[in-house]
Structure 1
Amino acid sequence: MSEKGYENTNQTNNQKYLGKKGLIAFIALMNMFIPLSTDLYLPALPKMSSYFGSSISVTNLTLTAFFFFYALGILIWGPISNKYGRKPVLIVGSIIYIISSSFCALSSNVYFLIFSRIAQGIGAGGITSVSIAIIKDYFSGKERESILAIVQSLSGIAPMVAPIIGAWILKISTWRGSFWILTIISILNLLLTFLYEETLKDNERYRGTLAKSIKRLLVVGKNKGFLIPAIIFSLSALPFMGYIAISSYIYVDYFGLSEQVYSYFFAANALISIAGPIIYVKYLSTIDKKIFASGCFGLSVLSGILIITVGKLSPVFFLLSFMIISLIGTAIRPFSTNILLEQQNGDTGSASSLINTLFTVLGSVGMLLASIPYKNIVVGLGGLVTLFSATALIGWYGFIKSNVPCIGLKQPNYELNKDTVN
């Protein structure tokens, strides 16, 4: 056993029942849980406010509370998966999600719904926290980056079709129908989990106590080559999740569209997002990574300016303006996730948890900021896009110019300090 509590043996990854393609599809499904958990009932948000007699800010707590506790969940689930394996975490997370989804569907008041969404977020954390870790368990090098792009593109189907399905559900049922659909999907995920065979190798399994396993988060967090770019990349989540929180109000209340038409606009934005990872892998992966990221952040600033100036004029102009940051946000994800995973030799579950937690926490902040009653809701969102994209651009420039090493980006021959690895 090593000094960090990891046992060194050999184990070969094998998926007897799912196979390689099945595993990729399973990972994609796990990554769909977050957009499905939010986008499926987005068209119903205005009607839910009327049903419960609650304000927009209170109803939107069903979103922000979900994401906040999802962030806390993944922060804990990742280290636990390092000790006990990915499969037990997936089983427990799926069961929690199934029960809480049914509670959401049965909610009689907005506060019980918020409580149920909190539990749902914790369960979702167990499902998604290990998805990135499984990719690193099973794939490596250039193939891992390609698989990340494939999974993220497949996962992009969910935000494209979820609001359309949600709008259709409203025609034949109520908002409760969306949560019954989520219950069924989570049951399917649990069944696939039983077919999945553990991918965490024995030589990467943490053998110390659970408390020490969770403390590994601090070890990963002390790695500046991991933490600083993780924060910078996660800043893009802030305005995008703000858009998720208020998009239905923008299209339905501000522009006066129906829930059905709104779902088509939302799906169109999601469709362009799917193209991001594909475009990166096929055309942009050979570009200098420093220049590529700088260009992405710069285009995001442009997107914010366009939203402020022309996005408020019509739903079409708003869609076209926001599409830029949507495309950029997904195009940069395969590169950013792979770079961050490269910074840690071991502690994959902890690294995966921190990546998802930073993205989610900042995204929750974005939801709260976007829900503020601005004089003009579109201009308010555009301001958030511009401000935080510019912050990411400045932060990225400072990081590139700093002496902080980053494997695959700066000082490629740099060896990780023993204190940051297992």
Structure 2
Amino acid sequence: MTQPYLKKWGFVAFITSLSMIPPLATDLYMPALPEMVTVFNTTTTMTSLTMTIFFVCMAIGILLFGTLSDKFGRKPMLINAILLTFLFSVACSFAPTITFLIIARAIQALGAGGMVSIASALIKDSFDGKEMSQVLSITQSLGMLAPMLAPLLGALILTYFDWRKTFIALALLNSISFVAALLLKETLPQEKRTNDGIFQSIWSITKVLKNKTFTSYLLIGSILTAPFMAYIAVASYVYVKGFGISETAFSIYFAITSALAVVGPLLYMKIGSQSFKKTYSIIFTVIMIVGILLLTIGKISPILFLISFVPFPMASMFFRPMISGIILQSQSTNIGAAAAMMNFGFTIVGSLAMLIGSLEWASYVNGIAITILSFALISLIILLISKSRSWISI
């Protein structure tokens, strides 16, 4: 599918920008989380809820917008999703209470979910085979620039303004995406759209879930990579409160982690032709080592925490484009629903990891480590069960 206005690489850049919204929506104001506890006279659990609720509601938005794009087309649903995110980014900036902020974040997340799921559907609509895997790797590696740059940008904004301006900055970025969406050529022709009613379109998600191969790979991949979201939920508490470093220093540590995570999908582009079995075995081993290191030396200093943890985002981001390609290739119809279900799975499992990671642990480092180890083991169990029942072949 050619794009007369955006062209191929402009189209890829646009898809990447859509995928960057969720990390920007969380990481941009992350350095201010400890301060917001004081501003709203609340608890760390409540301020962390502004992040957790975002991912839960984003998962709902992923399902709604992704499945409905099979009926109404990608472009109109995408424009609506961007507008929703824009409006409630502005609303977040005026939040008078923590309750208002949580509600505004929930609605903002619905639109962000639509942007994420439709971005995946655009890739499946427009590319195939090896080219699709390459585009997934490119968009996911470039997408990691958002969590790398967002805390630095957030810290810069907080140097001159308060946390509310971080949401204004997010709204401005959404306005740029809106302009690009207007230039987008529809990738789902009228004759390929579903004729089902709205509720039947949403219900088409069940057809995707009946594909045991699709569901098995989705569970394996989403559970194995989810603990990175636990880290995102509590990283500022680990560094600022736990190790006592400044917000600016935290943003640097966080940016280093995100920068190294970019190595993952770039490596996949170079050596991603390895078998799933071999790749999973290596990734699983690395992740288990990370969990053990965090439990032993990760609590000693911020440097040792960084060294212990960074192999996890590198490994999971290497695995993510591989498993995403396998998941999408396993479904030949209801592409919007499939893309929605894939992103929903990654998001809702990530939200669960965030919730577990942000519990009142005696040490948040221990919480991250336990989340990593337990989720990795659950992923392995699902893989072994799926293999024994011939749902997947490895």
Common topology (TM > 0.5) = yes
Separation in 2, partners of 1:89, 1:281: 31
**Residue 393 (structure 1) shift:** 2.3
Does 2:272 align with 1:290?
A: no
TM-score, length of structure 1 as denominator length: 0.91
Q: Is contact 1:290–1:400 with CA below 8 Å preserved after alignment? A: no
Query: 1:203 Cα deviation (Å)?
Result: 4.5
Match of 1:43 among 31, 36, 55: 31
Please name the residue that 2:56 is paired with. Answer: 68
Give the number of equivalent residue pairs. 394
SS class of match (1:236): helix
Residues in 2 aligned to 1:344 and 1:380: alpha-carbon distance in whole angstroms = 36
Identity over the aligned pairs, expressed in percent?
A: 38
Quote the residue 1:313 is aligned against. Answer: 300
Aligned partners of 2:192, 2:311: CA distance in 1, in Å?
40
Equivalent positions of 1:14-93 (< 5 A) are 14-93=2-81
Displacement of 1:35: 0.4
Provide the rounded CA distance (Å) in 2 between the counterparts of 1:331 and 1:201: 33
* TM-score, L = length of structure 2: 0.98
Structure 1 contact 298–390 (Cα < 8 Å) conserved:
no
Query: Of residues 133, 140, 147 in structure 2, which corresponds to 1:159?
Result: 147
Identify the residue that residue 363 of structure 2 maps to in structure 1. Answer: 376
Tell me by how many angstroms 1:343 deviates: 1.1
CA contact (8 A) 2:229 2:351 kept: yes
Aligned to 2:248: 260
Q: Does 1:327 align with 2:328?
A: no
Secondary structure of 1:369's counterpart equals helix
Aligned to 2:349: 362
Give the partner amino acid of 1:158.
Answer: A
Contact 1:246 1:371 in 2 (8 A): yes
Instruction: Write the distance in 1 (CA, Å) between the matches of 2:159 and 2:235.
Output: 20
Aligned to 2:206: 218
**Counterpart AA for 2:298:** G
What letter matches 2:64 in structure 1? I
Bigger share in helix: 2
Range 167-176 or range 374-383, more displaced: 374-383
Q: Are the counterparts in 1 of residues 226 and 353 from structure 2 also a CA contact under 8 Å? A: yes
- SS of the equivalent of 1:235 reads helix
The amino acid across from 2:387 in the alignment is: I
- 1:294 touches 1:396 (CA, 8 Å); kept in 2? no
The offset of 1:323, in angstroms, is 0.6
Instruction: Determine which structure has more spread, i.e. the larger CA radius of gyration.
Output: 1
1:349 paired to 2:336: yes
Query: 2: CA distance between counterparts of 1:43 and 1:245?
Result: 11
Is contact 1:294-1:397 (8 Å) kept? no
Give me the whole-angstrom Cα distance separating, in 2, the residues matched to 1:336 and 1:262. Answer: 31
Q: 1:104 corresponds to which letter in structure 2?
A: C
- Structure 2 residue 187 is matched with structure 1 residue 199: yes
Q: Name the structure 2 match of 1:416.
A: none
Q: CA deviation at 1:401?
A: 3.6
Q: Distance in 2 between matches of 1:276 and 1:393?
A: 21
Residues 1:338 and 2:325 aligned together: yes
- State the match for 1:125 in structure 2: 113
Which one of 276, 283, 290 corresponds to residue 264 of structure 2? 276
Query: In 1, distance between residues paired with 2:307 and 2:191?
Result: 49
